[in-house]
Amino acid sequence: MNFFEKLLSDYDFTLDKKGVSGKRLASRLAALSEIGLTPDNGSHRIGFSHEEKAAKDLVKQWMTEAGLTVTEDGAGNVFGRLNGNNPDLPALLSGSHVDSVPNGGHFDGPLGVLAALEVAEAWKQTGFVPERPFEVVIFSDEEGARFNGGFSGSSSMIGEATREELLPKIDIHGDSFTKVLEDIGLSVDDFFNSKRDLKQLEAFVEIHIEQGKRLERAGVPVGIVTGIAGPCWLIMTFTGSAGHAGNTPMDDRRDALVAASQFIYEVQALPAQVSSSAVATVGKVDVLPNGVNVIPGEVRLTVDIRDIKKETRDQLVDLVIEKAKAITEEHGIELQFEETLREAPVPISKDMRQKLEKSVIAQGIEPVYLPSGAGHDSMIVGHVLPVAMIFVQSKDGISHNPAEWSSLSDCVQSVHVLKDFLEGYDR
């Protein structure tokens, strides 16, 4: 059974209404899945690659067929515009990205783009014209697999991308940012002149798979995002004394790994002290000298700290540092730490959440609120515009993996929620 057939195998065709077609959405998800398809049946379309460009070009063709006016900016962001009854009003935007992590899944990003396009298709079929302009957007390089960064397209659209940050970057193949752009027909000057006139934009709403298990456990197809967590990354170095594993008594050791291990274990209890949505993860550990018969003299580790509120996120950062200091002091170990990232969380406004709640209820779905622990283009756009996010149930919470899956019925229900939200935005 191929990807298209699997999507349709358990689809509830009663959801085909008001111009929305599950089969059309499935066929387009399947068509995009073929671009950059890996031997594991995953997606490999890293940012600013020819595969990402091919996926954009295919969606641009569908946008044109749906009656949208298609433009592309200097960062490779694609916009399909429907002017609406009053083209002078600021536009509502919806979409996501089509790039992927290496050997990723087929829903992360493309679903948000194709769901927004499906709304435009439904309007074309039913003859509905929105009051204000509507734009389907594809942002470039959301995942950041190419330059270990991400959100390049959305950052350029709002004017936050800088030459100082991006021009020194070297990609995974050893190529410069400038060369990578030129290889796909873009230029540095155009990239940094891609800022939109924000007065012409009203708000951005994004559909995305949850990448977690909350909606699956709740038994609902979609959820309303309350906020997008802002990450803070700490690199911590625990320094003790390396020594011979056989000749150094247990009571005369300064084992950096023992201290680091205690820290790693105790970090997991800290997030609950600040909020129910906070998280902290030690995801990378380097042990030096890393010998079988050598007491570890140094351990370098990373701590990823996130929450949807800045105050509690920053409070958790302080708790993590305090815990590390206390443990290293207890073990006679030296501590050094460096902060390499601190991104502001983006709360979703009460007004936008209430608008989504009405649209969810209108589909006969029980509203479920949940935070987004992962970053999205909405996090970047949310720096300057009101944003909203609709999460779609993820099977087993798997993401960034060929096994990533959301049922077509759940995907189509998200389209109906988005469509109702857009149609009722100004009511």
Instruction: Tell me the pLDDT band of 352, cut-offs 50, 70 and 90.
Output: very high
Does residue 63 carry a pLDDT above 90?
A: yes
Phi, psi angle pair for 381, to nearest 5°: -60, -30
Instruction: Tell me the pLDDT band of 148, cut-offs 50, 70 and 90.
Output: confident
Q: Are residues 202 and 253 both part of a single domain?
A: no
Instruction: Tell me the pLDDT band of 37, cut-offs 50, 70 and 90.
Output: very high
Does residue 373 carry a pLDDT above 90?
A: no
Instruction: Tell me the pLDDT band of 13, cut-offs 50, 70 and 90.
Output: very high
Q: Are residues 29 and 65 both part of a single domain?
A: yes
Average pLDDT (132-141) is 97
Neighbours of 159 (CB within 10 A): 15
Q: Residue 298: which domain range?
A: 230-342
* CA proximity to 67, closest of 122, 146, 13, 139: 122
Average pLDDT (352-360) is 97
Instruction: Please tell me whether 318 is known to bind a ligand.
Output: no
pLDDT digits 0-9 by tens, 108-128: 999 999 999 999 999 999 999
Return the exposure string of 34-66: e unless at least 16 CB atoms fall within 10 Å of the residue's CB, then b: ebbbeeeebbbbbbbbebbbbbbebbbebbeeb
Q: Are residues 166 and 267 both part of a single domain?
A: no
For the chain, give the percent of residues with pLDDT over 90. 94
For the chain, give the percent of residues with pLDDT over 70. 100
Cα–Cα distance measured from residue 398 to residue 376, given in angstroms and rounded to the nearest whole number: 17
Q: Are residues 385 and 398 both part of a single domain?
A: yes
Instruction: Tell me the pLDDT band of 343, cut-offs 50, 70 and 90.
Output: confident
Does residue 286 carry a pLDDT above 90?
A: yes
Q: Are residues 396 and 336 both part of a single domain?
A: no
Average pLDDT of the chain, as a whole number: 96
Instruction: Please tell me whether 208 is known to bind a ligand.
Output: yes
Which of 323, 342, 361 finishes a domain?
342
Q: Are residues 256 and 400 both part of a single domain?
A: no
Q: Are residues 259 and 288 both part of a single domain?
A: yes
Q: Are residues 377 and 309 both part of a single domain?
A: no
Cα–Cα distance measured from residue 267 to residue 351, given in angstroms and rounded to the nearest whole number: 35
Residue 31 belongs to a domain with what CATH number?
3.40.630.10
Does residue 5 carry a pLDDT above 90?
A: yes
Instruction: Please tell me whether 143 is known to bind a ligand.
Output: yes
Does residue 338 carry a pLDDT above 90?
A: yes
Residue type, 345: P
Which of 342, 363, 387 finishes a domain?
342
* Domain count within the chain: 2
Q: Are residues 58 and 73 both part of a single domain?
A: yes
Which of 282, 316, 342 finishes a domain?
342
Q: Are residues 30 and 164 both part of a single domain?
A: yes
Q: Are residues 247 and 147 both part of a single domain?
A: no
User: What pTM was estimated for this model as a whole?
Assistant: 0.88
Residue 322 belongs to a domain with what CATH number?
3.30.70.360
Contact present, 234 and 195 (Cβ < 8 Å): no
Instruction: Tell me the pLDDT band of 160, cut-offs 50, 70 and 90.
Output: very high
Does residue 374 carry a pLDDT above 90?
A: no
Strand 134-139 and strand 78-82: the pairing is antiparallel
CA dihedral over 271, 395, 47, 161, signed as positive or negative: negative
Average pLDDT (149-177) is 93
Given this model, what pLDDT does residue 302 score? Answer: 95
Given this model, what pLDDT does residue 92 score? Answer: 98
